[in-house]
Amino acid sequence: MLLGAHVSIAGGLQNACGHAVKTNSNAIQIFTKNQVRWDFEELKEENIRIFKDCISKLKITPISHISYLINLGSADENIEQKSFSLFIEEIKRCHMLGINQLIFHPGSNKNLTEDKTIGKISSNLKKIIDLTCAYNDVSLVIETTAGQGSSIGYKLEHIGDMINIINSDRIKVCVDTCHIFAAGYDIRDKEGYISFTEIFDKLIGLNKLASFHLNDSMKELSSRVDRHAHIGEGFIGLETFKYIINDNRFKNIPKVVETPGGDEEHKRDIEIIRKLKM
Ligand SMILES: [Zn+2]
Ligand SMILES: [Zn+2]
């Protein structure tokens, strides 16, 4: 079972492994830079080496989440341009660190229809893929969203459309349980869970599913609000996590919690999920 937490890189990404040990993670998600800033420091050879060494020694599967500021659909041309450049930089950083999943939210545009926004984002992603063929070990992983504001990605149709337009093996998908629930997919009972995986397979293809974010939800079904809760303490409840963790189709897919708090809380959430394994 590849299970773990989103861990901090405060003080440098060479610290990620320490958090992996503390949280009992064999899969971790990290930001490769400060996630709320456009600027970044170049990765240092020494830190890359330490990171890669401990990752391989501890047999940890690392994935990365892109900076929060990035929006390839932005109505502001300046932000769109900055997003485009930073996206490429983030792919390069993943490549240097031996990380092969870069997870991102599709984006939003308050002035365009959803279809036009999907077209704009997809055309940017197509260009980014072409410009980063030297780093084709890194997949661009679209995360399902809760659909806050004018965000795209709260319907599996959106993601299916993007995949069809972009048409690249490097595009994959990450399912966030909190987000799909807030977006209106009721995965609380077995029937709902199975039906979700069937719709996903039909519109996207289960072969595109690359990772899970396992979060409970502080907000109700269809709230379209993104607030993560500890596992079993939100509106989703434990059953859903039991289905996912025991679904053999997803055995080798990394799953990380992005619940509130630090190492201690994450360790507890991970333990709760591990105990659901039958
Ligand atoms: Zn997430
Ligand atoms: Zn979220």
Going from the Cα of 176 to the center of ligand 2, the distance in angstroms, rounded, reads 7
The Cα-based distances of 269 to 73, 262, 264 in angstroms read 34, 11, 9
For 223-249, how does the pLDDT look when each residue is reduced to its tens digit (9 = 90+)? 999 999 999 999 999 999 999 999 999
Mean pLDDT of 195-214: 98
Assigned fold of 3-274:
TIM Barrel (3.20.20)
Mean pLDDT of 120-140: 98
Helix residue ranges per DSSP H, 3-148: 16-23, 45-57, 77-97, 114-131
Lowest mean pLDDT among 7-16, 114-123, 138-147, 227-236: 7-16
Contacts of 107 (CB under 8 A, 6+ apart): 70, 71, 72, 73, 74, 83, 117, 121, 151, 152
For the chain, percent of residues with pLDDT exceeding 70? 100
Please name which of 254, 175, 186, 260 lies closest in space to residue 220, comparing C-alpha atoms. 186
Going from the Cα of 134 to the center of ligand 2, the distance in angstroms, rounded, reads 31
For 148-199, how does the pLDDT look when each residue is reduced to its tens digit (9 = 90+)? 999 999 999 999 999 999 999 999 999 999 999 999 999 999 999 999 999 9
The Cα-based distances of 169 to 34, 66, 79, 133, 172 in angstroms read 28, 19, 27, 12, 8
Beta-strand ranges (E) seen in 147-237 are: 171-176, 209-213, 216-217, 228-229
Going from the Cα of 270 to the center of ligand 1, the distance in angstroms, rounded, reads 15
Known binding residues for Zn(2+) are 65, 105, 143, 176, 179, 213, 226, 228, 258
Q: What is the pLDDT of the chain when averaged over all its residues?
A: 97
Residue type, 95: H
CA-CA-CA-CA torsion sign (16, 17, 22, 27): positive
Q: Rounded to an integer, what distance in angstroms lies between the CA atom of residue 221 and that of residue 187?
A: 10
pLDDT of residue 82: 98
Please name which of 7, 32, 65, 45 lies closest in space to residue 210, comparing C-alpha atoms. 65
Going from the Cα of 226 to the center of ligand 2, the distance in angstroms, rounded, reads 5
Q: What is the DSSP-derived secondary structure letter of residue 14?
A: G
Write out the two tokens for 42.
């170049």
pLDDT of residue 75: 96
Angle between helices 77-97 and 45-57 (to 10 degrees): 60
Write out the two tokens for 182.
């807030």
Residue 183: left if φ>0, alpha if ψ -120 to 50, beta else—which one? alpha
The number of the ligand nearest the C-alpha atom of 257 reads 1
Under the banding of pLDDT at 50, 70 and 90, the label for residue 215 is very high
Q: Rounded to an integer, what distance in angstroms lies between the CA atom of residue 94 and that of residue 242?
A: 31
Please name which of 192, 187, 118 lies closest in space to residue 159, comparing C-alpha atoms. 118
Mean pLDDT of 16-39: 97
Going from the Cα of 217 to the center of ligand 2, the distance in angstroms, rounded, reads 9
Q: With beta carbons less than 8 A apart as the criterion, state whether 31 and 74 touch.
A: no
Mean pLDDT of 44-67: 97
pTM: 0.97
Under the banding of pLDDT at 50, 70 and 90, the label for residue 14 is confident
For 70-113, how does the pLDDT look when each residue is reduced to its tens digit (9 = 90+)? 999 999 999 999 999 999 999 999 999 999 999 999 999 999 99
Beta-strand ranges (E) seen in the chain are: 3-6, 27-30, 61-65, 101-104, 139-143, 171-176, 209-213, 216-217, 228-229, 255-257
Going from the Cα of 260 to the center of ligand 1, the distance in angstroms, rounded, reads 12
